[in-house]
């Protein structure tokens, strides 16, 4: 009976947290009419999420492209012509690797940063001070970060596509002797708009997950500095799990796995 009761309480807490998270995001979106007033802060957050992450995304995407080229050459050796490596690289990068790896990297850099920043404001009672001054944190704190994530994660994914494909191209040409013209010609002939848009739709959801989980976790911080460190860690963990779950669901819906 104790085990059953414990399981029931655990399930209740999980469902309660999910409900609070949904209500939290709904409250943020009810302030969309104040976007113009917060445009300066939105731009600042866009720089923080986008421009400040370019170096990290560049390194991650470049080596992802190199690894993809090596693996594609190895796994398809003797089965398909090497000239089709560009097709494999292009599709795998646009559909899966660029959006997912970009989101996972940003969950550690951006998500944890947002959670720690807001968590510090929470434990130092700065959020309470804002409410005392009739400033709504949903409007002033959470909305700019969420919108910046929705905008910048897809843009960083496009950038990641570019870096990943071109790094794979250079390795394929100089190491495997693939003709440069055929690499891109075959990629273009087998390109589908759904490949690119599918990855960007994923990135849009990932941007929402990273920023909303960071804001929500930060707003629930308790226990001083230890609590701030804990919510930063939990933000990365839960964001990563939600990214992978969402990746499956969106891919299944967009590419016809679920009828």
Query: What does the pLDDT look like over 166-185, one tens digit per residue?
Result: 999 999 888 877 888 888 88
Residue 163 has a pLDDT of 96
- Please tell me the pTM assigned to this model: 0.89
Name the least confident of 49-58, 73-82, 152-161, 239-248.
73-82
Residue 36 lies in a domain: no
Residue 2 has a pLDDT of 40
Strands (E), 101-184: none
Residue 21 lies in a domain: no
User: How far apart (Å, rounded) are the C-alpha atoms in residues 219 and 183?
Assistant: 49
Residue 29 lies in a domain: no
User: How far apart (Å, rounded) are the C-alpha atoms in residues 64 and 93?
Assistant: 9
- Both tokens of 31, joined, read 């302030």
Residue 11 lies in a domain: no
Q: Which of the four pLDDT bands, split at 50, 70 and 90, describes residue 4?
A: very low
Residue 32 lies in a domain: no
Phi-psi region of 222 (alpha: psi -120 to 50; beta: other; left: phi over 0): beta
Q: Give residue 212's domain range.
A: 51-254
Residue 254 has a pLDDT of 84
Residue 150 lies in a domain: yes
Can you say whether the dihedral through the CA atoms of 136, 141, 147, 150 is positive or negative? negative
157 exposure class (CB count in 10 Å sphere: 0-12, 13-18, 19+): buried
CA 139 to chain centre: 22
Average pLDDT, the chain: 89
Is the distance from CB of 75 to CB of 177 less than 8 angstroms?
Answer: no
Task: Answer with the residue of higher pLDDT: 32 or 181.
Answer: 32
Residue 16 lies in a domain: no
Q: Give the number of domains in the chain.
A: 1
User: How far apart (Å, rounded) are the C-alpha atoms in residues 110 and 194?
Assistant: 28
Share of the chain above pLDDT 90, in %: 58
DSSP state of 179: -
Q: Nearest-CA neighbor of 94 among 255, 259, 256?
A: 255
User: How far apart (Å, rounded) are the C-alpha atoms in residues 237 and 245?
Assistant: 13
In the numeric block, the tokens 């490596």 are attached to 85
Residue 5 lies in a domain: no
pLDDT at 6 over 70: no
150 φ, ψ (degrees, to nearest 5): -60, -35
């Amino acid at each position: 009976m104790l085990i059953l009761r414990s399981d029931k309480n655990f399930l209740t807490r999980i469902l309660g947290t999910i409900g609070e998270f949904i209500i939290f995001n709904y409250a943020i979106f009810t302030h969309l009419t104040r976007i113009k007033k917060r445009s300066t802060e939105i731009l600042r957050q866009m720089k923080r999420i986008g421009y400040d992450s370019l170096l990290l995304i560049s390194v991650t995407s470049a080596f992802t492209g190199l690894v993809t080229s090596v693996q594609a050459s190895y796994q398809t050796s003797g089965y398909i012509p090497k000239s089709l490596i560009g097709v494999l690289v292009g599709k795998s990068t646009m559909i899966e690797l660029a959006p997912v790896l970009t989101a996972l990297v940003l969950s550690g850099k951006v998500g944890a940063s947002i959670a720690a920043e807001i968590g510090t404001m929470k434990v130092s009672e700065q959020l309470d001070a804002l409410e005392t001054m009739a400033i709504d944190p949903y409007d002033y704190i959470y909305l700019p970060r969420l919108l910046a994530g929705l905008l910048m994660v897809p843009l960083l994914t496009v950038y990641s596509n570019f870096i990943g494909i071109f790094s794979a191209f250079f390795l394929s040409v100089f190491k495997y002797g693939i003709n440069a013209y055929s690499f891109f010609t075959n990629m273009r002939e087998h390109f589908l708009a759904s490949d690119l848009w599918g990855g960007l739709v994923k990135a849009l959801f990932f941007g929402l997950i990273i920023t909303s989980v960071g804001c929500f976790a930060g707003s629930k911080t308790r226990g001083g500095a230890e609590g701030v460190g804990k919510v930063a860690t939990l933000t990365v963990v839960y964001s990563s799990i939600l990214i992978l779950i969402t990746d499956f669901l969106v891919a299944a819906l967009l590419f016809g796995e679920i009828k």
